[in-house]
Structure 1
Amino acid sequence: MDQIVLLIGTRKGAFLLHSDAGRREWRLTGPHFLGSAVHHMVLDPRDRRTLLLGTRPGHLGPTVFRSSDLGEHWQEATKPPAFAPSADTKAASVDVVFWLAPGHASEPGVWYAGTVPPGLFRSEDGGDTWQEVPGFNHELLPNLREVIGPIPGGPPLHSICIDPRDARHLYVSVSSGGTFESTDAGANWRALNRGVAADFLPDPDADVGHDPHRVALHPLAPDRLYQQNHCGIYRLDRPGDRWQRIGRAMPAEIGDIGFPIVLHPRDPDTLWVFPMDGTENWPRTSPGGKPAVYRSCDGGESWERQDNGLPRGHAWWTVKRQAFCADDAKPLGLYFGTTCGELWGSHDEGDTWLCLAEHLPEIFSVEFAAPAP
């Protein structure tokens, strides 16, 4: 690995934070698309050259831009994600391209996108043209509309996970809708929400209507999934279909509510979360204004606080679902961006933290990239 780049999407544009493999010095470049909301920016790990970015430029509609030179030049998709007019979509229009996910390693050029309002789209030409996944958008989604409730910014489709063993095996999640699985490339879907609390629903054991904030599949153990939900932290071990609430082991005064969840790429039992204040008013800040990351090394059976170097008080920010990531170095590096525009990093798996950039706009997403030389 010759260099590390952090891809940062913000409320007012995109930034790139560069370092060599030693991670000793960092250099910030950008902004790209200044003034435009950038919800997600991802480098294709299959070619390590294709960079996709989901944005809404000013008053114009949402779209996708592509770059093959780390943002030096950009090309807009000729056919961005859009709902086709039909009775099923009720003339819905895409408001935000919220989530971008490279396809399976066996399918170069394939990408998936999740949108607000919820929709699932697929590209087979590197992100230039996008088509709906009809099994989700026209078969499953009409049945979900009655349960999907209003949330700040609108309900997104997010956490698109592809089983590394099978390109046809997909997981997606919808905020205030739930998590869903397909084993036939998106033609058919089933709910995968058993065991997940839904404290805000009249029926707490409802099959759908749940509010997953972030779902992650482990790349080396794809039968292991983790979830940070509106109502707790969970683990799922397939072929089981019932989630186990591992957040009960978190300190009672902190709770297990938050947005992001990050997995150690080499250890299925190690993961990190960033808790936020989950009291009745949902202030969406660090509990008590004292931010901390929590790590588990035993699959969620126990948790340890990691706040060395972070502010000790009056830090009233939180971390959004796409704004926490890990690199693949040894020891592992961790990075998160805050709603106050700070980018924090750890080069020792969370034991110590250092502010790498500050005074950015509100950070929506942070992704690790290792570009090709």
Structure 2
Amino acid sequence: MEGPHFLGETVNHAVIDPRDRRTVLAAVRAGHLGPTVMRSTDLGKTWKEAAKPPAFPKAPEGEAGESVHHVFWLTPGHARNPGRWYAGTSPQALFQSDDAGVTWQGVAGFNEHPMRDKWINKGEEGPPDGATLHSINVDPFDPRHLVIGMSMGGVFESRDEGKSWKPLNRGVEANFLPDPEAEYGHDPHCVRVSAAAPGVVYQQNHCGIYRLDRKADRWTRIGDNMPKAVGDIGFPMVLHPRDPNTLWVFPMDGTTVWPRVPIGGKPAAFRSRDAGNSWKRLDQGLPKGQGWFTVKRQSMMADALDPVGLYFGTTGGEVWASFDEGDNWHCVVQHLPEIYAVETALVA
């Protein structure tokens, strides 16, 4: 434990660059700086603001422009593109840096797409903190392939490094939309591209847990196999780094009231070893009752060790860890502020 860094300011995401194991970028919303990206090249010992943070171009005089409310998600580029990073913001837009986060430019293929206003439901009321572009995935098997998620928008992909985009939502339920087969307008909570097998993608959605095999090109609701008393609503989605059929979720109460807490105040993760055909409850060591916290979409992560370590942070300021792929849990940190994100990295 080190810190605190940016005391009293919102840090939506903080990520270590796996390519050099020293550079850290943090998405910070500070009272005096506003929405920005902070950089460290010494594992957080010192920080400096990006010289040119993510921002929309200035609108022509007399026209209404857009402004970044906050930077929400950060993703390092492919190993073949050292120095490249991606950032997602609220309102939903995509930005790119090619100098390790010093300067940022909008990804014109998305931000200037003629369908963007419709894709992001521009002008419609969104979540209290604003709808976000999140879950930026760089396909480990193809650096040109990008997959993103958007609240109030859905999942979208590019096959040409962001120059062109298309929706990727076939098969996903959207019970809040007039058209159940709508091409866009969905609400993914977290989307992950597998590093263990090409063409395998998972998502935790407002309407369940899904798996996509690109051979079929249609999402399958694997959350239907979760225990009916638990359901398949939650926010984080975690994938095994070497097994495309193993994944973890952290469900919450998804009833009509949507209290966003563990079902019955009894927190548990669930693991599948067979691509979602069956699930096992993992609650050993977690509170047996009165556990009324939420695990946000960026707040659960796996490491790359063997066995895989799992970590999640709560809105109650606790960090929990499992060193045996979820079979046993240990509280490793207490009394922090609300936790927005947890990330892992090997730095030795």
Q: TM-score range by the shorter chain?
A: over 0.9
SS of structure 2 residue aligned to 1:31: coil
Matches within 5 A, 1:173-252: 173-252=149-228
Aligned to 1:362: 338
Q: CA deviation at 1:152?
A: 3.0
1:261 aligns with 2:234: no
The letter of the residue matching 2:13 is: H
User: What CA distance in whole angstroms lies between the structure 1 residues aligned with 2:32 and 2:324?
Assistant: 42
Matches within 5 A, 1:4-153: 28-86=1-59, 90-139=64-113, 140-146=115-121, 149-153=125-129
User: What CA distance in whole angstroms lies between the structure 1 residues aligned with 2:242 and 2:142?
Assistant: 20
| TM-score (normalizing by structure 2) | 0.96
CA offsets per residue over residues 110-157 of structure 1, 9 Å max, x none?
Answer: 000000110100000000000000111111422324376511311110
C-alpha distance 149-180 of structure 1, shift in aligned 2 (>3 A): farther
SS of structure 1 residue aligned to 2:44: coil
User: What CA distance in whole angstroms lies between the structure 2 residues aligned with 1:129 and 1:54?
Assistant: 14
User: What CA distance in whole angstroms lies between the structure 1 residues aligned with 2:140 and 2:291?
Assistant: 39
C-alpha distance 146-263 of structure 1, shift in aligned 2 (>3 A): closer
Matches within 5 A, 1:260-279: 260-279=236-255
C-alpha distance 145-307 of structure 1, shift in aligned 2 (>3 A): closer
Asked if the contact 1:149/1:176 (under 8 Å) is kept, the reply is no
Paired residues, number: 344
C-alpha distance 363-172 of structure 1, shift in aligned 2 (>3 A): same
SS of structure 2 residue aligned to 1:363: coil
CA offsets per residue over residues 270-307 of structure 1, 9 Å max, x none?
Answer: 00000001011111111110000000000000000000
- Match among 332, 335, 350 for residue 308 of structure 2: 332
User: What CA distance in whole angstroms lies between the structure 1 residues aligned with 2:177 and 2:302?
Assistant: 34
The letter of the residue matching 2:20 is: D
CA offsets per residue over residues 324-369 of structure 1, 9 Å max, x none?
Answer: 0011112111000001111000011100101000110000000001
- Whose RCO is larger (CA < 8 A, sep 6+)? 1
Asked if the contact 2:268/2:281 (under 8 Å) is kept, the reply is yes
| TM-score (normalizing by structure 1) | 0.90
SS of structure 2 residue aligned to 1:248: helix
Asked if the contact 2:92/2:120 (under 8 Å) is kept, the reply is no
Q: CA deviation at 1:90?
A: 4.2
User: What CA distance in whole angstroms lies between the structure 2 residues aligned with 1:226 and 1:149?
Assistant: 27
The letter of the residue matching 1:282 is: W
The letter of the residue matching 2:244 is: P
The letter of the residue matching 1:71 is: G
User: What CA distance in whole angstroms lies between the structure 2 residues aligned with 1:274 and 1:163?
Assistant: 24
CA offsets per residue over residues 53-104 of structure 1, 9 Å max, x none?
Answer: 11011253111111111111111100000011247x9411101110000011
The letter of the residue matching 1:214 is: C
User: What CA distance in whole angstroms lies between the structure 2 residues aligned with 1:168 and 1:264?
Assistant: 23
The letter of the residue matching 2:73 is: W
User: What CA distance in whole angstroms lies between the structure 2 residues aligned with 1:333 and 1:57?
Assistant: 32
User: What CA distance in whole angstroms lies between the structure 1 residues aligned with 2:51 and 2:24?
Assistant: 16
Structure ranking higher in strand proportion:
1
